[in-house]
Amino acid sequence: MRPVDPTIRKPVVVDAHVHVASADRERYPLAPSGVGSPWFHADDVGTRDLSTGMRASGVDRAVIVQAVGAYGYDCSYAIDAVRADPDRFALVGAVDMDGAHPVDALAALARDAGELLCGVRTFGVHGHRPRWLEDGRADEVWALADETGLTMVPVLFPDALPGLGAVVAAHPDVPVALDHCGFADLSGGAPFASATPLFDLAVLPAVRVKVSTHVLRHAAAEGDPADVVDKLAATFGADRVMWGSDHPQTVGSTYPEMAALGRHAARRLSPADRARFLGHTALDLWWKAS
């Protein structure tokens, strides 16, 4: 089904990037990987807490992204959380790209999650060079994603973005949603001259970017968070830019505060582009028939 133009449909707010962890540690044992903050040790970071925050903030849907920091690559809780409410939540799993055969891990994940699986997260921020971008492992995973209709969700630092660009160029039909804008260097504020590796990816139509609370806070420290949203929308197009809270991995703000920051950062966009940034880019990517 062809997506309906956001200018003629009811705006839907979609959080493109959230994490959840279960308070049931026996059924879903934690396996901390050392990545990110220790948010998952709290007992109120499951889907009930998330749903409460979404209702309070006018957020209609959310993409549950595998919490690698909490569970490593065991996606059991994320799968079950989405299975319980697939209309509200979409699933992005994760596989260990540093393993010998990540394509086999993705095939197994796809079997376990079935049609719930919409995307796969590929981590390259473990403190060493992501050689999987260069040695063929990424190509194998991207090829399987192409066969199965999955979106790739890479997590990379700026120095790895040229390597990502080469893989994307070789697999132009596979959609990509780059986490946290590739941790772009926004120092100095607009026009963000230090973020060239990020903006260079705009020539690749498959690439979309997730503008998380982390990115907006960084931009706010350099001026106005709307500056980076405006620049991204002008460079990539608003249909390739999406808001994501990173709740509760990013600490120091409540969920309503994160949602308010996203809206504040989008305030200078046209109504149609604001609708895309705050929801319809993500909706069309992960709920294609909506």
**pLDDT by residue (tens digit) across 96-142?**
999 999 999 999 999 999 999 999 999 998 778 899 999 999 999 99
One DSSP character per residue, the chain reads -PPPPGGGS----EEEEE----S-TTTS-----S-S--GGGSSS-SHHHHHHHHHHHT--EEEEEP-HHHHTT--HHHHHHHHH-TTTEEEEEEE-TTSS-HHHHHHHHHHHHGGGEEEEEEE--SSS--GGGTSSHHHHHHHHHHHHTPEEEEE--GGGHHHHHHHHHHSTTS-EEEGGGGG---TT-TT-GGGHHHHGGGGSTTEEEEEEHHHHHHHHHHS-HHHHHHHHHHHH-GGGEEEE--BTTS-SS-HHHHHHHHHHHTTTS-HHHHHIIIIIHHHHHH-TT-
* pLDDT for the residue 115: 94
Structural domain 6-286, CATH architecture: Alpha-Beta Barrel (3.20)
What is the average pLDDT across 258-264? 98
Within 13 Å, how many C-alpha atoms sit on residue 166's CB side? 10
pTM equals 0.94
Q: Are 141 and 102 in contact (CB under 8 A)?
A: yes
Render pLDDT for 33-80 as a digit per residue (tens, 0 to 9). Answer: 877 778 888 888 999 999 999 999 999 999 999 999 999 999 999 999
Q: What is the dihedral of CA 141, 152, 70, 198, to 10 degrees?
A: 120
Beta bridge partner(s), residue 117: 91
Mean pLDDT (whole number) for 239-268: 96
Ordered by start, the domain boundaries in the chain are 6-286
| CA dihedral angle for residue 195, residue 199, residue 200, residue 202, rounded to 10 degrees | 170
